[in-house]
Every structure is written in C-alpha cells, then in structure tokens.
Amino acid sequence: MMVNCLLDFVAVVIIVMISGFMLTKRRSGLLFYIYYRSELIVLLMITLLDIFTSWLINTSYDPLDDITGSLKVFIYISNLAVVFLQLFFIAMFTLYLVSFTRIDGKSMFKWRIRVYSVAAATLLCLTGIVAYYGIRNIDIIDLRELPVVKYIQYAVLFYYLILEHVVGLRYRKLFDRNLMLHVMRDGLFLTAIIAGQVAFQNVRFAPFTAAIVMVDLIYVGLRPEEIFDDAGAMFRKYMMDFSAEDFKLERNFWLIFIRVNDYKVLAESFGVAEAEYFMRQVVQYIYDNGRRGGVFRESSDVIIYRVSGTGQDDLDRAMTAIEKRFLSPWRVGTMETVLSADYMTVRCPEQVRNMKELVKLLISYDRKNENGDKIGTPEELIGENEDEKILEAVRRALENGGFQVFYQPIYSAKEKKITAAEALIRLFDPVYGYTPPEDMIKIAEREGCILEIGEIVFRKVCEFFDNENLEKLGVRYVEVNLSAVQCAKSRLAEEFVGIMRHFNLGPQHINFEITETSAMIANSETVAGNIDRFEKNGISLSLDDYGTGYSNISYLYNMPFKIMKIDKSILWSAEKNPKADATLKNTYDMAKKLKLKVVQEGVETEEQIKKLLDLGCDYFQGYYFSKPVSGDDFIKYLKEFKLPKVCR
C-alpha cells in the first residue's frame, strides 16, 4: 500500500507558523498555555514521524521480501511512536480542556492521573502486541493496519471523548459557556479526525486537520489579547489566580511593585502609545533578565513582578539589576529618557498571609498611587481597609442580585423632548447603605468582576426597554457605559448583540459609551474589533467624558463614533475661565466639522442652556432636567415631562 503524505508537509508549515506566533507572545505560565505548547510539540513530532515512515513505506513497498530486517524493525517502531503520540495528543487536549476550569492543584493532579495512566497503559499494550507477534513475523509493513491496534485506538479515543464530556458537564459553571462549547466541539472534531485516520491509512490527513484546529484554538482558547496588555504584561486577574494557588499550597512567592513615576507625564506629553512603548521595554527587560516569573499590570503606571520559590539573595540580585537599569536611559525610536521608579517588595505568606490580605494591600496601594501619596510598607497597606466594605458590598450584590439600574434623561434640543437616557448602575447595600458608583466600579475592575456586573446591567437595561416599551414613550435609545476591561473582552460584541436579540431590541435601541481612557489604554486591536462588530450590527457608539482623559483627537476620526459626550468639567470651567470657555467653543466647532452629535453633560442652569443652544449643542444631560432616577420614576418623569421655558 502506497501512502500519500502531502498534507503532512502542509501541516508542518502551519505548525511552524503557529510556533512563530507563539514565540512573539510572553510565557504566561498559565496551564492552558503550557498544554497548548505541549500539544503543538507532540503534533510536530507526529507529523515529522508520519512523513518519515510514509517515505520509508513508499520506497520499500515493492517487493515486500526485499525489506531488510533492520529497516522493517525501524518502520514498526516509528509507526508505534506515531500511534502512541496520536493518542497522547488527544490526552493532552483533555488536560488542556481541564485547565480552563482553574481548579486547584490537587484536583488537577487527579485529572493528570486519569489521563496519563490510560496513555501509559496504551503504550504498554502496543509494545506488548509487537513483542507478541514478533516484528519479523508480521506480514504487513504498517503497524497501524493491524486490527488489534485499530481496536485499541478506538477504545482509547472513546475513553478520552467521554472524559472530555465529563469535564464539560462537571465544571460547566466554571467555564465561559461559549468557550466550553467551542473547545469541546474542537475536541470532538479532533477525536473524529484521528478515528478516521485509523480507518483510512493510505492518506495521512490527521496532522493537517489537527493543525487547522490548533489555529482555531489560538483565537478561541488562548485569546492572547485577553491575557496580555499592549506592553506584554499579563492582566491583574491572572496574578490573583497564581497567588491563590500558591497560598492554598503554602508556597512562598514574592511580589515586586514597580511604579514608573514618569508614565503619566509621558502619556500627557507624547500620548499613551509612546508611554506604552517605554513600559514594553520595562516588561521586556524583566522577562529577559529576571528569574522565571510573571509580569503583571496593576495600573497604567504600575507593574508587578511575581516570582515563586526564590530566596532572599536571588531576590536582592534581581532588585539590584532592576534598580541599576532604571538609572540608564530607555529608548523609543530617536527619543531617550531616564525613568524614575519607586519599588515595594512583598513576601508572601510572611507579610501577606492570604488572599484577603492581598486584596486589602492592592486596594490600599492603588488608592495611594492614584492620589500620589507615599506608598508605605505592606503592613501599613494591609492595615488600611477603607475600601474593604465596598468590596464586601459588591460581592454581596453579585450573590443576591443587589445591583440596580438608574436612568438619567437626555433632552434633544432639536425635537424639544426627552429622546434618550443614560443607564447608570447603583448599589444600595443592606449593611453599608449607598455605595458611590465611582468607587464601586473601580474596585470591581480591580477584582475582576466588572464583566459580570456589566452583563447584569446590560440585561436589566434590555429587559426594562422591552417590558416598558420605551419607544412608545419617545425614548429611542438608552446609552450604556462600557469599561476598559469590558472593551478588552474579545467576544463582548457577540454576547451583547445576543442579549439584545433575546429581548427583541434592534440596533437603534442601544448606544454604547466608551471613555477616552477605555479607547486608549485597553488593548487597541480588541477594542477596534469590538467596535467594528458593533458597527456592522448597526449599533452606534459615543465617546464619553471627552476632555477628562488624554484627549487624543485621533480617536474621534479613527473610530466610528457618532456622538461625543463632553464632560461637565469643561462646561463648568468655561463659566469662570476664559481659556476654558475658548476650549469649549473650539470643541463644539470641531465636533460640527467632524459631523458628530454632541451631548453636553452636567447641565444644571438656564444660563448654561442658553450658552449651549448658541453653540449648537444637540443634546443636554444634567440635573437641570433630572438626576438619575429608578426605572419606575423614569417612566413617571417621561409621562409628566413639561418643556422648560428656556428651551422653547
């Protein structure tokens, strides 16, 4: 039997391309990244062995008697390796699926036993078959054509397929639903591929189709844009995952906080992109010269270098090298600058004993950093629990459905009526009472629960719009805020469009607000992808809080914003400061030339309304019309709305 292995050569090209892509990404230490790399290595070994054994079979096929004993032995051993590696590849995929559950190390060890024990037993069986028959006594060259070998492969494939579905069902609450369905679909496909290859040996197609699946898994399973930021550092939630595991297993680890003091100056002077280039160099240096560990982004100007299992001497050497490097200039293009930095080292679990104390430390550190205060020691930071009550309230609200959505009316100057509203989250905790939304959102972003909160809010908005039939009351759309963390989620657009369809909302009923900070600091490719998908579905977007961020005007014409919301600070400053007044007028002129509709926030007086009407403002939002109110009060407001005299 001649063997066609042309597809194997294509598979090698694909695997090499994937490997090149993976080399451009940082080693994250995440289990699913480790298993993915392992799968890639195993697949490459399968493909190369497949090509080699196919070549040997094809060149030695006719006549059979001419094959030398040593060559025959080599062919059988090579085929034995291919058979085992194909099954081992599926075994690795099963562990890859388990790794997404983020279960603890003890449970993960049990799954490894379940997977590897069957793989080891399979290898023993295959070796035993060859020994039993005797290589020289088998009449066929390709070991894979033996019926008993085929039956073993089918049995093992069936076992791993069942195991994958057990994982999916048992840990379904720990999975992202779309991710679980997609990865399990790929697992079923891979199993079918290898089963098909077992049945049809004359054409080698399994490595090629498996390589295609590996490409798919990069964008569905790995999602590097949700793990690494633009500087190459991992997002904070992964540091929390690693730390939780180490605390549970009582392993020692260190956290080195590096605050780049000049980041904000660079961002304001040269733009966020240039500042990120410098941060990328800092991250690169730590990866290249530090011990094995992870680099995480705590905030725009703070990175955390996390190292496990190192001694004080090694840590001191690492700190000395980092401090020395910061004394030399960092270079981006033709620009060189020396960056100043502050450092704080934290020994865990010596100084920080558990996750609760780590959360306290991070909250206190971020608050002091944001206010420009002296950071202090880890012990001092842990003692400050100013925000711990808010975090408890947020967690309680997630468990008990305690979040509410308020609505602030938006008045149309052209139509002289309320035509829209902004949805705003509110939290009234039964223990601590009202929680300021700014603090609550900031802490929710830090703790990694803003995605869940954002989905809750959006579902409530869509349900309210549908149940109350707001369109009949004159409300054409509701504005919903998207945070930087939400914008960095790769499948955000698909999920939200699905929610809208569930509640029978059209694209014209929702407008998403994205702040300048979200557009600039979040991963640009991911943000652009979400915006593009929203636009393709006919959903409009607003640039929110214009004037409070770095005011990078390029975002106004590079992204398809339809509306610009001008922050209240510009309007209020314009009443007292002639320069601010000129800025306000120029902003409105620019918006008109860019054909953007303008919503002015913070409208509170008749004088402001008169001024804004002269400037050509399209929409007004502020306490002059109404403060944010509950859903019931918003409906009542719409029914009782009377046009103010100044607007007539």
Which stretches within 372-414 are classed as H helix?
378-383, 388-400
Place of tokens 């085992």: 84
pLDDT value at residue 63: 45
Strand partners, 406: 424
> pLDDT tens for residues 382-415?
775 657 778 888 989 988 888 999 999 999 999 9
> pLDDT tens for residues 253-272?
889 999 998 888 888 777 77
User: How far is CA 240 from each of CA 353, 358, 364, 446, 452, rounded to the nearest angstrom?
Assistant: 14, 9, 16, 10, 17
Question: 3-state SS string over 543-562?
Answer: EEEECCCCCCCHHHHHCCCC
Give the pairing of strands 433-435 and 417-429. Answer: antiparallel
Residue 63 to residue 59: CA distance in whole angstroms: 10
Count other Cβ atoms within 10 Å, centred on residue 442.
19
Give the pairing of strands 540-546 and 563-566. Answer: parallel
Strand partners, 409: 421
pLDDT value at residue 443: 83
DSSP 8-state assignment for residue 404 = E
Q: Is 614 exposed, middle or buried (0-12, 13-18, 19+ CB in 10 A)?
A: exposed
Q: What percent of the chain is modeled with pLDDT above 90?
A: 22
For 364, the enclosing helix (H) or strand (E) is helix 355-371
Residue 249 to residue 19: CA distance in whole angstroms: 33
From 3.40.50.970, 3.20.20.450, 3.40.140.10, 3.40.50.300, which CATH number describes the 394-639 domain? Answer: 3.20.20.450
pLDDT value at residue 524: 63
Residue 72 to residue 142: CA distance in whole angstroms: 10
Task: Name the least confident of 363-367, 418-422, 540-544, 546-550.
Answer: 546-550
Q: Where are the domains of the chain?
A: 6-222, 234-386, 394-639
CA dihedral of residues 534, 538, 544, 546 (deg, nearest 10): 110
What angle in degrees, to the nearest 10, is found between the helix axes of 631-640 and 450-468? 40
Q: What is the CATH number of domain 234-386?
A: 3.30.70.270
**Phi and psi dihedrals of 261, rounded to 5?**
-65, -25
Strand partners, 511: 479, 540
Q: Which residue has the higher pLDDT, 602 or 98?
A: 602
